[in-house]
Amino acid sequence: MDVPVAALDLAQPLAGRTVLVTGATGYGVGSGVCAAVSAAGGKLVLNGLDEESLRPVLHRYPGSVGIVADISDPDDVRRMMAEATEQCGPVTGLVNNAGVGLSKPFHEATEADFDRVFDIDVRGLWLVTRAFTQALLDAGRTGSIVHVSSVHARGTMPRYAVYAGAKGAVEGLARGMAVELGPHGIRCNAIAPGYVHAEQNLALIRTFSSDPEAWVDRHTNLEQVLPRLIEPVDCGWSAVFLLSEMSRCVTGQTLVVDAGLTTRLYTRTPEGSA
């Protein structure tokens, strides 16, 4: 649906729209997406793996709808989309946030490790996007899709080869889906966060650093161009832009939210030299 520039409410660019956010119960990027979509006036359909984890998020966003589903299960995905449409009417925004990581050298990873990452991060994303697209086409509606990728899709570090491969696939799907869906007025983009800070992340950082607090400090102040912590809502606002009419001519793109991490050629030293 095209909106005249004069009619676009920049304060609430998602007013009147319903957005499905998968993996909406976590503390990372998904929490920021939910906060930003709600602030932008969108109605939230929140996906989680169980009622218990959904309960506090539903309480945080009155009027939102929660649906328990495993996105790697095709039957669950079909049911989720049917329930979302039945309860909310046409869902015209989708944020594929659900995902899992893996911090392990690729040659030490098991087949189960590999399958888990690709089943959720790639196959699950495809299943949800397929169901969402079919619902839009059946209703004759346009819409917008945002995949959550990562800076690991284009540049990575030791122990992250499998995860980087999955996120590379996510961005490839975003481009391909954009090409195929463009004639139907459906856009597909991705956001690629850098390190998004949350206290819970320190446990993951311990898998490759003996001092996670120092790692976060160095990463923020020396590796990034902007010496500030990236918060979940920073990713959320980027998703809102891609979901809204503000980006109506943007598709097949990846918006990197990394405080300049992947822009720098060399890391600064504390003295400021290369």
Give the residue from 59, 79, 221, 60 showing the smallest Cα distance to 68: 79
Degrees to nearest 5, angle at CA 100 with 233 and 146: 50
Distances (CA, A) of 239 to 37, 85, 116, 121, 233: 8, 21, 25, 18, 9
Give this prediction's pTM: 0.93
pLDDT in tens, 65-118: 999 999 999 999 999 999 999 999 999 999 999 999 999 999 999 999 999 999
Choice among 27, 61, 160, 163 that is catalytic? 163
Annotation marks residue 163 as catalytic: yes
Predicted confidence at residue 274, as pLDDT, reads 44
Distance of CA 199 to the CA centre of its chain: 19
Tell me what pLDDT residue 8 has: 74
Q: How many CB atoms lie within 10 A of CB 205?
A: 18
In one-letter notation, the amino acid at residue 213 is E
Q: Which pLDDT does position 196 carry in this prediction?
A: 94
pLDDT confidence of residue 182: 98
Q: What are 225-273's pLDDT values in tens digits?
A: 999 999 999 999 999 999 999 999 999 999 999 999 999 888 766 555 4
* 73, 97 contact by CB (below 8 A): no
| 5: exposed, middle or buried (Cβ count in 10 Å: 0-12, 13-18, 19+) | exposed
DSSP structure class, residue 196: B
Judged on CB neighbours under 10 Å (0-12, 13-18, 19+), 202 is middle
Report which residue type is found at 110. Answer: T
Yes or no: say if 117 and 163 are a contact pair by the CB < 8 Å rule: yes
CA 106 – CA 88 distance, rounded (Å)? 42
Q: What is the pLDDT of residue 273?
A: 46
User: Given pLDDT bands bounded at 50, 70 and 90, which one contains residue 9?
Assistant: confident
CATH class of 11-196+231-257: alpha beta
